[in-house]
Amino acid sequence: MQNEFVDKAVSQFRTLIEEQITRAQAMEHAAPPKDFQNLKTVTIGVIDGDGIGPIITEACTKVLNALLKDEIDAGSIVLKPIQGLTIENRLKQGKAVPDDILAACKACDVLLKGPTETPKGGTMESANVTLRRELDLFANVRPVSVPEEGIDWVFFRENTEGEYVLGSRGVEIPDTLCMDFKVTTRPGTRRIARAAFEYARANGKTSVSIVTKANIMKKTDGSFSEICHEVAKDYPGIEAEDWYIDIMTAKLVNPAVRSGYQVFVLPNLYGDIITDEAAQIQGGVGTAGSANIGDQYAMFEAIHGSAPRMIETGRGAYANPVSLLRAAEMLLRHIARPEKADKLAAAIASCGLTITGREDGATCEQLTDRIIELIG
């Protein structure tokens, strides 16, 4: 019986390898990036999601409607609601992203997405993972800023590979072992490295920290580090530094050294973990936005989850929309509206309200109204 499971696992592994080779080859022939500077109409899909998702996306929609009123009225920007990416609908249809919702997403240029719940156990993967793969959103970009401490970090997390790309397709030998798979491709690593170094050069940064566990994961992380250093040769004047993920997590909480870091590039899982740590240093996961960027599509979201306990305990009105508002700011920069992004950033910084998630703080509606008031 055990040999049958082994044979099945070997066959499955062959299929996975062939799929990943095909994916890597497709990356080599990708279309050029979309030019938002000259795009006549930009369609922004708005996905509400689960838990507090509908509450904070409604808040962001109100802010965007106020901020972009002239362009929305003129038809150069369209806000398009995309409904149905809920845990109930996904479970009912048995798909992380149902076909009709994926088609609606592909009819947009960029997405503003509320948090979605991921089922525990089973084989259904995260909706985020599916969207990142289907839209080829290879760069997860997360800025963290604490000016009073000299912290100005930008993380470039590879978004379509690592442990997540095959996270729901591991193998199991019952009562014996389970195995999941980690994927690193040359074109996939090259493009995230280039995105990080391009950002560094465009923004006057002098160092990029390459964060891996290459001393242990010698094939995957070793390749990631090697390729990043190859890309670094095209950017003289920008230092490429290798760090292991465990020591970097310690460095970020060390006030004596952490202000010396600037840009980070790292594989998927490490980036997921360390950017939550970085957001906590900034003030909590509710304060940080996240961009998922590809050549043709982009998705902007809060970095926190759907907070079902807030809904269960009747505290939804106190959900904090700031993380999604910061994501909206990143969205505006991506679609070549920097002045609007600056206006939103200034309003967030000066709103003067504190949300605690409870009755001792402001409500989501109060903060939203204040932001709109400051936008004018």
What is the reported pLDDT for 17? 93
Superfamily name with CATH number, domain 142-282: Isopropylmalate Dehydrogenase (3.40.718.10)
Residues of the chain with pLDDT > 70: what percent?
99
Q: What is the pLDDT of residues 19-67, one digit of tens each?
A: 999 999 999 988 888 999 889 999 999 999 999 999 999 999 999 999 9
**Are the folds of 31-137+294-376 and 142-282 the same?**
yes
Is the pTM higher than 0.75? The answer reads yes
Domain boundaries, the chain: 31-137+294-376, 142-282
Q: Is pLDDT above 90 for 170?
A: no
- Over residues 163-181, the mean pLDDT reads 85
State pLDDT tens for residues 124-135: 888 998 998 899
Architecture in CATH of 31-137+294-376: 3-Layer(aba) Sandwich (3.40)
Q: What is the 3-state secondary structure (H, E, C) of the chain?
A: CHHHHHHHHHHHHHHHHHHHHHHHHHHCCCCCCCCHHHCCCEEEEEECCCCCHHHHHHHHHHHHHHHCHHHHHHCCEEEEEECCCCHHHHHHHCCCCCHHHHHHHHCCCEEEECCCCCCCCCCCCCHHHHHHHHCCCCEEEEEEEEHHHCEEEEEEEECCCECCCCCCCCEEECCCEEECCCECCHHHHHHHHHHHHHHHHHCCCCEEEEEECCCCCCCHHHHHHHHHHHHHCCCCCCEEEEEEHHHHHHHCCCCCCHHHCCEEEECHHHHHHHHHHHHHHHCCHHHCEEEEECCCCEEEEECCCCCHHHHHCCCHHHCCCHHHHHHHHHHHHHCCCHHHHHHHHHHHHHCCCCCCCCCCCCCHHHHHHHHHHHHC
Mean pLDDT over the full length of the chain: 93
1 pLDDT tier (thresholds 50, 70, 90): low
Q: What is the pLDDT of residue 232?
A: 98
pLDDT tens figures, 210-249: 999 999 999 999 999 999 999 999 999 999 999 999 999 9
Low-confidence winner among 30-44, 120-134, 139-153, 257-271 (lowest mean pLDDT): 120-134
